[in-house]
Amino acid sequence: MMVRFMPRMATLVAAALSAVVVQPGVAASPSPAPGTWFDGLVAGACVDADPDGSFDFTVPPRVVPCDGLHAYEIADRVPLGGGTFPSEDTAGQLIADTCTPVYEAFLGRPLDAIGLYTSQVWPDEAEWAQGVHDVVCLVGGSEPLVGSARSGNLVAPGEALAVYYQPADVSELWLADAGAGQLTRPLAGNLTDLLLGPPAWAPDGSGLTVTRAVSDGDVDSWLVPLGDSAPTVLATGPGKQDGANLSPDGRTLAYISNDGLPEYDIFSRPLAGGTATQLTDHAGRDASPQWSPDGSQLLFRRATDGVSDIWLMSADGTEQVRLTDNGGSNYDPRWSPDGDHVLFTSDLGGDTDIWMMNADGTEQRLLTDHPANDEYPTWNIDGSLIAFQSSRYGGPTIWLMRADGSDASLLIGAQPVGYPMFAPVPVQ
């Protein structure tokens, strides 16, 4: 990576992935009082910049709460050592050698995989003479950050995501390393037709169910293995056979079907074959069946008169209960691994955001509150983290946050990429 560094008072340098972006609008200015700009800057602090992304070095930077919008987060403030002030000829390598390992330790990911900007600020010659010998290593984004950029290093080794990635005209099913924040490989036997809706993992992590759009408007559900085996069809027939989801014991398939009719209902049948059982009978659209961790219940989405809500029923279709009724459209429910909570997406605030509620529908609370669209949440293995699709950087990207909604940051910046789904077990 070619890097060009200049004295701090002249410009602020930001390295984005493998490129270098020089932030505009930072002109030379009188030197501040010794050490003033650097006072109070510590690792983990969040600071805001001027609207053009620059700093006014005559005043200390604005330290702001990390749970609000901010330009940069401080990865660390590192002493450069004493001696002679580093000249422009020597500063570049010195600063790079100092901050590169800081970024990777702070973010828990290789520098070329973070999908963020990195910036370094160091003293000018007057400050150096006064004993200020520190470099401040900052992390930022092409758009303001919300939360901590460190969420990528919260992921345990072996945690994987399935995502849809669309490098050309059709969506492809890919595996991603959640810890590294990188797409790793398309799955063997990838389907070349358009893929619709979120994928769903088999409970043992051996493969994923996907919805495939085929000829004449028909839609079928397929199983795509992680290995080299070819995909196999799970549900096919006239019209749409959509949203297939395997029970925790892997023996029963829940899916939606319209059998060529305007209505969509939820069905279940043994995976080994046999007669399908109709679980819902509704004049609108029932979709997104999701088995509870113990297999005794199903979450689903019911659309009536253009409004969608989250419902719950027993595995045999009885005891149907409405969980959301907030005036917005609510969809894409996801059980927590322990079965105590449910994530869902809602457009109650105008844009879409991620919400959480207890499994009985009580204590509904907002987890993301951003003018971009946040949707399609998924829990990691132990339920401590949530990945989701967001348009915060324009096209769809994958973000990560803690289960309480804090520390939201970009995880996978390839575009367009969406519909994340954490694997239920570690994947190699």
What's residue 199's pLDDT?
93
What's residue 52's pLDDT?
76
Tokens at 99, concatenated: 């901050």
What class, spelled out in words, does domain 152-422 have in CATH?
mainly beta
Contact 186, 387 (CB under 8 A): no
416 DSSP assignment: S
Cα 160–162–163 angle (5° rounding)? 130
Contact 33, 127 (CB under 8 A): no
What's residue 112's pLDDT?
64
End-to-end CA distance of the chain: 29
What's residue 30's pLDDT?
35
What's residue 131's pLDDT?
81
Radius of gyration (C-alpha) of the chain in whole angstroms? 25
What's residue 148's pLDDT?
67
What string of DSSP letters covers 3-56? Answer: -----TTT--EEEETTEEEEPS--------STTTTTTT--TT-EEE--TTS---
pLDDT tens per residue, the chain (428 residues)?
222 222 333 223 322 222 222 222 222 333 444 446 787 788 888 888 887 777 887 788 889 887 677 888 899 999 887 778 887 777 778 887 888 899 888 876 666 656 677 888 888 888 888 888 888 998 886 666 766 667 666 787 789 999 999 877 778 899 998 887 788 888 866 676 777 888 999 999 999 999 888 776 788 899 999 987 888 999 888 788 889 999 999 999 999 998 766 688 999 999 988 899 999 998 888 999 999 999 999 999 999 888 999 999 999 999 999 999 998 999 999 999 999 999 999 999 888 999 999 999 999 999 998 888 999 999 999 999 999 999 887 789 899 888 999 878 778 877 889 999 999 999 87
What's residue 277's pLDDT?
94
Which pTM value belongs to this model? Answer: 0.76
Domain boundaries defined on the chain: 13-146, 152-422
SS3 per-residue string spanning 230-262: CCEEEECCCCEEEEEEECCCCCEEEEEECCCCC
**Torsion angles phi and psi, residue 97, rounded to 5:** -60, -30
* pLDDT tens figures, 265-286: 999 999 988 899 999 998 888 9
Contact 77, 136 (CB under 8 A): yes
